[in-house]
Structure 1
Amino acid sequence: MFSETVKSKIKKFDVYRKLPQDLTEPTLSGAFVSIIACAFMTLLFLTELAEYLKVSTNTEMFVDINRGGEKLVININIAFPRYPCGLISLDAQDIMGSHVVDVGGSMKKIRLSSDGKFIEEEDLFEKEHKEESGVNLQEIKKQLDNKEGCQLIGHILVNKVPGNFHVSSHAFHNQMHSIIIGDNSKLDLSHVINHLSFGSNKDLEFIKTHFEEGVLNPLDELKRIRPDGVRDALSYEYYIKVVPTTYQTLEGEEFFVHQFTANTNEYSAQGMPAVFFRYDLSPVTVKFSQTKESFFHFIVQVCAIVGGVFTVAGLIDNLLHTSISKILRKRDAGKLG
């Protein structure tokens, strides 16, 4: 294909000149250095491969400018082992001054026996609409006497502004005296927060399985139980700082949820007890983005490993070979003593 003249000219560009095999000889020191170098290159290659396959997460913060007109989803699963479903109502109020009884969303009341067993399930909002026309006092008194409990499960939709939602008996304010007959100790809002989070439950479940960053449900499994020796009705307050958070996958898919931190307080209620969850939204959004090392960067690193180890091993081999040769020459000359 090529003439001999062209071939000879092309050969001048060869920087990998070959020595005839009969001009080289293997050495024991070279063999040891080669084995160690290969093992070291393999170790470094595996380390770099693990780094290439690993998915890391970058974090950034910026001011949230898309807050107006949005709804905040609050997921709730709270058990009240000493408070009957007949007395429980859920209200919400925000900083705009609007107070909403029967907030939007979906919420179930689950009646529990004194030993925590399921009795029946009711729709919280539908139940409260029915009770606006009249309260079944006998049924509520029966639930109190039987020491029934109640569990709230579902979600509510509130304006994306600072506010609060609270569990209480405000809907039965006018009838409360005839229900408890002056004994406030019956109103025990001891509770267990099985789950509380802000954002779509579907998105939250995905994030938990694909990300390790973020504080999405710090109140889960928290218990607030009134001591047996306390007769006063206690109110509980949770002060929650909500931080809008975006999670972005390697494929570019984004999930918008909220992290939060919380402090708690409890005190003797002057009137009817309640459990308040007061939330405030941070103006700063946190974004977690998944990243992965590029293939070209991986190739560059592998080349650096092979070339670097090969070069260093060659220097070490030359040093060993030269040293051993000098020692052997001195021994043959009888100069080692």
Structure 2
Amino acid sequence: MMMKKSTLLSIDAFSKTEEDVRIRTKSGGIITLTCVLITCFLLVNEWIQFNSIVIRPDLVVDRDRQLKLDISLDVTFPSVPCGLLNLDLMDKAGELELNILESGFTKTRLDSHGNSVHDAETFKPGGEQKGTSGIDITDPDYCGSCYGALDQGRNAELPRESKLCCQTCEDVRNAYLDAEWAFYDGKDIAQCEREGYVEKINEQLSEGCRVQGEALLNRIEGAIHFSPGRGYENKHGHFHDLSLYWKNPQLNFNHVINHLSFGKSVETKAKGRVSAASTAPLDGREVAPERDTHKHQFSYFAKIVPTRYEYLDKMVVETAQFSASVHDRPLMGGLDRDHPNTIHQVGGTPGVYVYFEMSPLKVINREQHAQTWSTFLLNCITSIGGVLAVGTVMDKVLYKAQTSIWGKKSQ
């Protein structure tokens, strides 16, 4: 009695031939060896891909726009003294910060060769009184003159605490600033003469200055600018007391950007990992045109993109990338030297301006494995199957070609 044929045999998709009816050829051996080598190469390549690490960027809406943005700068001005240099910050929201170099920044005096003046005294108007010229400034009845900048005509009728007085050189400077008068170097102003301001500011006119520090910005469009003289605001706009700068034609705003970046500073251990990011593209830029730049304005237009790096070891780095375009123009206006069809506008303030604009989008760069385990296994199976399929087709084609040729020869 014959055994019932198994149902599994009827669905076997991999039917076999008897060993004694198989035909082996040299071309088949060559194709088999080639398939083995190609398969090994593909499998090794898949293993390398599986172990490689890639960074995949993702673009999202920046939800941290209510937070402040850090700015870190280090700029050298070889031809502007620290006593004359000023830094202001303003933005589209109407916020204005004047003279912020007095807080959060370090100013280093430089000699004509660019070396630090290590023995330089920290000097501020209103400081040590050098000579009193017979005036006792500690006298409670003493009321310094404001030289017409403030109306002191009624002081005799007012009590001591209500009198308008300028006791120090700084008081006189502020009074001149409020009156929008040119202060120059304070010469012939008794308060400035006895404090040594006149002597010191003139000594520094041949020096340079290096500014280093950090500040916080609103995440909206705005500008920071280095300019000579104290800044002030009135109904007509933002201005500076440029009197001393205009009086000394050797001064100019040629500069070297040692460092300029936005966003939180990257930790030392993470700097190598974000080296490809454009966090400080202007670092090392030196601007010193071979022409008179006393009446010149230098501008940088920065487009800032908040960026975050997320690594497999759970390290997270928050920073900001930016690109910048550069422009400069003479304040006297006229035709551009390099572009004859361009005419520069007349007016403005000499200095270095950095206009910044925040992107509403944020880039998140995530460190990931190039492949998952499932992708690796699938790619390996696909590689093996693909090579075998191609090898089988090539073997059949060659075999049929050989048998056809041999058949014709035997006739």
Alignment of 1:151-162 (within 5 A): 151-162=210-221
Letter in 2 for 1:280: E
Q: Partner of 1:193 in structure 2?
A: 257
Contact 2:299/2:355 (<8 A) preserved: yes
2:394 to 301, 311, 316: 316
Deviations 1:89-131 (A, max 9, x none): 32222333332232697433233332223333999xx977987
2:380 to 284, 302, 309: 302
Alignment of 1:24-103 (within 5 A): 26-68=24-66, 70-100=67-97, 101-102=99-100
The structure where helix makes up a greater share of residues is 1
Deviations 1:156-207 (A, max 9, x none): 2223333222222333999974x56x53423211012222111122159836
Contact 1:246/1:254 (<8 A) preserved: yes
Q: How far did residue 312 of structure 1 move?
A: 1.8
Letter in 2 for 1:286: V
Contact 1:189/1:275 (<8 A) preserved: yes
Distance 1:23 1:211 in 2: 65
Deviations 1:51-102 (A, max 9, x none): 333434433333323211x221111121212222332232222333332232
Deviates most, 194-203 or 73-82 = 194-203
1:217 to 262, 280, 283: 280
Distance 2:375 2:102 in 1: 51
Distance 2:230 2:15 in 1: 93
- Find the residue that maps to 1:201 and give its secondary structure: coil
1:183 aligns with 2:247: yes
Pair 49,32 (structure 1): closer, same or farther in 2 beyond 3 Å? same
1:281 to 339, 349, 358: 358
Distance 1:175 1:28 in 2: 95
Q: Partner of 2:131 in structure 1?
A: none
Q: How far did residue 275 of structure 1 move?
A: 1.5
1:234 aligns with 2:232: no
Letter in 2 for 1:274: G
Q: Partner of 2:149 in structure 1?
A: none
- Find the residue that maps to 1:186 and give its secondary structure: coil
The structure where strand makes up a greater share of residues is 1
Q: Partner of 2:176 in structure 1?
A: none
2:200 to 118, 123, 139: 139
1:290 aligns with 2:361: no
Pair 209,254 (structure 1): closer, same or farther in 2 beyond 3 Å? closer
Q: Partner of 2:208 in structure 1?
A: 149
Letter in 2 for 1:219: L
- Number of aligned positions between the proteins: 318
Distance 2:248 2:374 in 1: 71
Contact 1:107/1:155 (<8 A) preserved: yes
Distance 2:392 2:119 in 1: 78
Q: How far did residue 329 of structure 1 move?
A: 4.2
Q: How far did residue 303 of structure 1 move?
A: 0.8
Distance 1:122 1:201 in 2: 30
Pair 271,13 (structure 1): closer, same or farther in 2 beyond 3 Å? closer
Contact 1:188/1:226 (<8 A) preserved: no
Distance 2:325 2:304 in 1: 12
Distance 1:120 1:14 in 2: 91
Q: How far did residue 151 of structure 1 move?
A: 2.0
Contact 2:82/2:208 (<8 A) preserved: yes
- Find the residue that maps to 2:118 and give its secondary structure: strand
Deviates most, 54-63 or 8-17 = 8-17
Alignment of 1:238-253 (within 5 A): 238-251=300-313, 253=315
Deviates most, 75-84 or 198-207 = 198-207
Q: What are the ranges of 5 or more consecutive residues in structure 1 without an aligned counterpart?
A: none
Deviations 1:281-323 (A, max 9, x none): 2222233333332121011001110111112212222332333
Letter in 1 for 2:298: Y
